[in-house]
Amino acid sequence: MESESTFIAWLRDRLPPHSALRLGPGDDAAVLAWATADDVVVTVDMLMDGVDFELADVDPRRAGRKALAVNLSDLAAMAAQPVAALVALALPRHGGLALAQSLYEGLLPLAERFGVALAGGDTNSWDGPLVISITAIGRPRNGRVWKRSGARPGDVLLVTGQLGGSILGKHLDFTPRVEEALALAERYEIHAAMDISDGLALDLSRLTDESRCGAVVDVTSIPIAPAAVELAAQRRDGVTPLDHALADGEDFELLLAAEPSVAERILAEQVLSGRFGVPITAIGQFVAEPRLWQRDAAGEVSRLAPRGYEHRLD
Ligand SMILES: [Mg+2]
């Protein structure tokens, strides 16, 4: 019978050393080295078998990778440099040890790539399905974080990458835009930002709500992912590639607000495409009038519903 201690022994052996980790898994809590002047940026995400992935169809390594990647995407949205992560697992009783090891084999390479110390966590087993909850800790790159609340009327709405159809694979294998966010934060003044986890329209409505303004989206400018075109062709259900780009969740791209002169420089310099192969595109403007609007090819403006993925709490 394998136990939690077998797993922790395996894990302590498997974890690489990290300069920020003074004390890692094995004690009652972890100790991180920290510059006292820095703020601490903290985020948590919980993924569940059957909701965020189907373990029956997905290699657990991809599920483990995704669980860390969604947290790194949230740190990217704050322009924070990832430092450490804590991993809490609720494992099904049968095959729990092998599953835990596979999850870690998936998330460890991503942690190494982004310099994240795996500082500890908790491992339980139960009669339910796999639940994996990761808490990630970061520090602001320039002493200041990006927030959702700073967009101003007149600002340009920018987006990284391409949108839609993530269910065909990107929702598991996406690269969190950490390096992109830090590169932008170093060069430009960004008024507001967030990552797109639940759909462009829904997440943009959250950003405009926090900024107490609205936005007009030029739908002809939205960078539609090839996967959105493929998904529409596969399903033939009347949902267009544009609809997928507007409402599909889990693209994990960044939405940004910058004043027009800054946006112009960002678009002209395209620092992300040279270094990371990621385009950045202007897809609209922030306006004083609340709510979302869409401008079509003919220049007609109509309401844009904040569609996307939401967990139901009823
Ligand atoms: Mg987020």
Kind plus residue range of the DSSP H or E element containing 137? strand 131-140
What's the rounded mean pLDDT across residues 102-106?
97
**Cα of 98 to ligand 1 centre, how many Å?**
30
Gap from CA of 78 to ligand 1 centroid (Å): 9
Which of 27-36, 110-119, 203-212, 276-285 has the lowest average pLDDT? Answer: 27-36
CA 302, distance to chain mean position in Å, is 29
- Angstrom distance (rounded) from CA 168 to CA 312: 23
Q: pTM for the complete prediction?
A: 0.93
Least confident range of 42-46, 50-54, 73-77, 187-191: 50-54
Question: Ligand 1: distance of its center to the CA of 200 in Å?
Answer: 12
C-alpha 265 – ligand 1 centre gap (Å): 26
Q: How far, in Å, is the centroid of ligand 1 from the Cα of 236?
A: 30
Distance from Cα 72 to the centre of ligand 1, integer Å? 9
Rounded distance between C-alpha atoms, residue 253 and residue 51, angstroms: 21
- pLDDT for position 248: 94
91-111 mean pLDDT: 96
The predicted structure's pLDDT at residue 25: 85
Q: pLDDT tens digits, residue range 79-96?
A: 999 999 999 999 999 999
258-292 confidence digits (pLDDT tens): 999 999 999 999 999 988 999 999 999 999 999 99
In this prediction, residues 56-61 reach a mean pLDDT of 94
Ligand 1 midpoint to CA 74 (Å): 5
Q: Give the Å distance between the CA of 198 and the centre of ligand 1.
A: 9
Centre of ligand 1 from the C-alpha of residue 104, in Å: 23
Query: What pLDDT was estimated at residue 314?
Result: 64
Kindly state the helix (H) or strand (E) to which residue 283 belongs, with its residue range.
Answer: strand 280-287
Nearest to 143 by CA among 73, 82, 81, 75: 81
Local confidence band at 143 (pLDDT 50, 70, 90 cut-offs): confident
Euclidean distance between CA atoms 182 and 43, whole angstroms: 17
